[in-house]
Amino acid sequence: MLEVRGITKRFGGLTAVNGAGLTVPEGRIVSLIGPNGAGKTTLFATIAGFLKPDGGSVMFKGSDITALAPHAICRRGLVRTFQVVQPFANLTVRENIAVGAHARLASRRQALDRAAEVAERVGMMRQIDQPAADLTVAGRKRLELARALATGPSLLLLDEVMAGLNATEVEDIVRVVRGIRESGVTILLIEHVMQAVMSLSDHTYVLNNGAIIADGPPRAMAEDPRVIEAYLGHGASERLAAGGKRA
Task: Tell me whether strands 186-190 and 155-159 are parallel, antiparallel or unpaired.
Answer: parallel
How open is the CA angle 88-48-119, to the nearest 5 degrees?
A: 40
Instruction: Determine if 99 is a binding residue for another protein (CB under 8 A).
Output: yes
Q: How far is the CB of 111 from another protein (least distance, A)?
A: 7
List 161's β-bridge partners, or say none: none
For residues 173, 193, 144, 25, the Cα torsion angle rounded to the nearest 10 degrees is -90
Question: Which residues make Cβ contacts (< 8 Å) with residue 212, sequence separation at least 6?
Answer: 20, 21, 22, 205, 206
222 φ/ψ sector (left φ>0, alpha ψ -120 to 50, else beta)? alpha
Instruction: Determine if 218 is a binding residue for another protein (CB under 8 A).
Output: no
Q: How far is the CB of 201 from another protein (least distance, A)?
A: 22
User: Interaction with another protein in 150-209: which residues (CB under 8 A)?
Assistant: 151
**Which CB atom, from 1 or from 146, has the smaller least distance to another protein?**
146
Which of 26, 117, 129, 134 binds another protein (CB under 8 A)? It is 129
Q: How far is CA 120 from the centre of its chain?
A: 21
Instruction: Determine if 108 is a binding residue for another protein (CB under 8 A).
Output: yes
Which of the ranges 26-34, 143-151, 169-177, 201-209 carries the binding residues for another protein, by CB under 8 A? 143-151
List 131's β-bridge partners, or say none: 92
User: Interaction with another protein in 38-57: which residues (CB under 8 A)?
Assistant: 48, 50
Instruction: Determine if 113 is a binding residue for another protein (CB under 8 A).
Output: no
Q: How far is the CB of 142 from another protein (least distance, A)?
A: 15
How far, in Å, CA of 4 to CA of 128, rounded?
37
Q: How far is the CB of 232 from another protein (least distance, A)?
A: 34
Instruction: Determine if 107 is a binding residue for another protein (CB under 8 A).
Output: yes
How many residues comprise the chain? Answer: 247
Binding mask 59-98 for another protein (x = CB under 8 A): ----------xxxx-xx---xxxx---xxxxxx---x--x
Q: How far is CA 38 from the centre of its chain?
A: 15
Q: How far is the CB of 92 from another protein (least distance, A)?
A: 10
Which of 34, 39, 56, 100 binds another protein (CB under 8 A)? It is 100
Q: How far is the CB of 88 from another protein (least distance, A)?
A: 4
Closest CA to 216 of 231, 198, 233, 230: 198
Q: How far is the CB of 188 from another protein (least distance, A)?
A: 15
29 in Cβ contact with 199 (< 8 Å): no
User: Binding residues for another protein, per CB under 8 A?
Assistant: 48, 50, 69-72, 74-75, 79-82, 86-91, 95, 98-100, 102-103, 105-108, 111, 128-129, 147-148, 151
